[in-house]
Amino acid sequence: MSINTISPSTGSTIFTHPGVAPAELDLILSTAASSFASYKKTTLSQRKTWITAALDRMAGLKETLSQELTAQMGRPAAFAGVEIDTMRKRADYMLSIAEDKLADMPGQAEEGFKRWTSQEPVGPVLIISAWNFPYLITINTIVPALLAGCPVILKPSPQTPLVADRFLAAFSAAGLPAGVFQVLHTGSLKTVQIAAQHPAVQQVCFTGPTAGGLAMKKATVDRVVGVNLELGGKDPAYVRADADLKWTAANIVDGAVFNSGQSCCAIERVYVHADVHDAFVVELQKELEGYKLGDPAAKATTVGPVISAAAVKAITAQVDDALVKGAVDATPANATFQTLPASGSYIAPRLLTNVNHDMAVMTAETFGPIIPVMKVASDEEAVALMNDSEYGLTASIWTRDVARGEEIGADVEAGTLFVNRCDCPNPDLAWVGWKNSGLGCTLGPRGFDAFVKLRSHHIRLTHG
């Protein structure tokens, strides 16, 4: 079955990829297994050389890759290139720590013995990526997997198929042995589940909605195999009474609206201390007045479409639910928000006040450019509301008192705590979700953990 990629900015089909037939799937899986036997014996130095060469090739195609991103998933052209640069920064960090993090770990010294623990590659890895930040999400796992000595089968989102093809071409040109990096193009959950259940696959990495992650976990329930999940979020921000309101508003609007809110770590709910609530809403309105919604190919556009008509419907349903239950639409006048493009999946940013946790917009993942703002009376109330969620990816606290921000943050249930920052995964820190936001981690000093298994070596130096 062919896979059709629909442009979110026009609604028309822009790419068609052939899907993988059952016989082709079997070949991909058997090839991964056979390539592992030789690839695991290559040196770390050689792996780094191949990966660096591939990354250099992709850097040379930055403008092309950026244009393809805009076409496939609708990110404004003014921002698309940043993803290619950030991808390289993440990869370079993992390359820089690989020798140290993959090194043998010595045991205690004892006369007549040698003991150590080595880190061995787990084997072929199935990586299921997502469309919203496809280069960043993919690089988080393929680089540490390949560095550890694991062949990779990459299943890209049908929305961004060219991303996988670009990686495949770059690794091939770099001289990576054939079969070590393969692409699985499919839009079928059943096909992906079959791949995850195959004995060749020794690690599954999934990025996407929580329901999809649970489906992958169930697919491997009868196997002793690792499953790494990067899932959804409903990330909160808390604005304390001492915050610089104008500066904080600029950061929060960016954190909520960038990429049309389609980020697992976008700000999706905002709690503001009652003493500054009204003034802060005014600053949010001023900030939103400067945004421009429109054709993502236009350099002046700051808000493009969301990914599909189905997404528009789901986001609109959350807004309508909130308004019916008493929320106030405080969105400022903005001509580009009033007249949407005639075709494509566009939805204007919305600023909602008088919201509460009886509304889906404050509890369910939105994945759209909506900013719901709730008034709170104290730090304690803010923390209780921030934790009143099934998700726990990131949370941010905005205050001039950084020490107090850290103190409050200690009680917040989230894998990443930001103080005076948001929506900014750093390569040197673990990217990890708590609660229903994930399992395992990528990036940071533990970013190789999913791709290695430990072997203990206990050697007596004499015999007899």
Residues 6+ apart with CB under 8 A from 270: 236, 237, 238, 239, 252, 256, 371, 372, 373, 374
- pLDDT tens profile 225-240: 999 999 999 999 999 9
d(CA 389, CA 403): 25
pLDDT score, position 17: 84
**Is this model's pTM higher than 0.95 or not?**
yes
230 labelled catalytic = yes
pLDDT score, position 22: 85
Ranges in the chain, pLDDT < 50: none
Out of 68, 230, 283, 287, the active site residue is 230
Out of 68, 83, 150, 264, the active site residue is 264
- pLDDT tens profile 402-450: 999 999 999 999 999 999 999 999 999 999 999 999 999 999 999 999 9
What is the enclosing helix (H) or strand (E) of 57? Answer: helix 44-59
264 labelled catalytic = yes
pLDDT score, position 197: 97
pLDDT score, position 233: 97
- Report the sign of the C-alpha dihedral through residues 332, 333, 335, 339, in that order: positive
d(CA 420, CA 239): 9
SS3 202: coil
- The phi-psi region of residue 444 (left if phi > 0; otherwise alpha if psi is between -120 and 50; otherwise beta) is left
- Amino acid (one-letter) located at 432: V
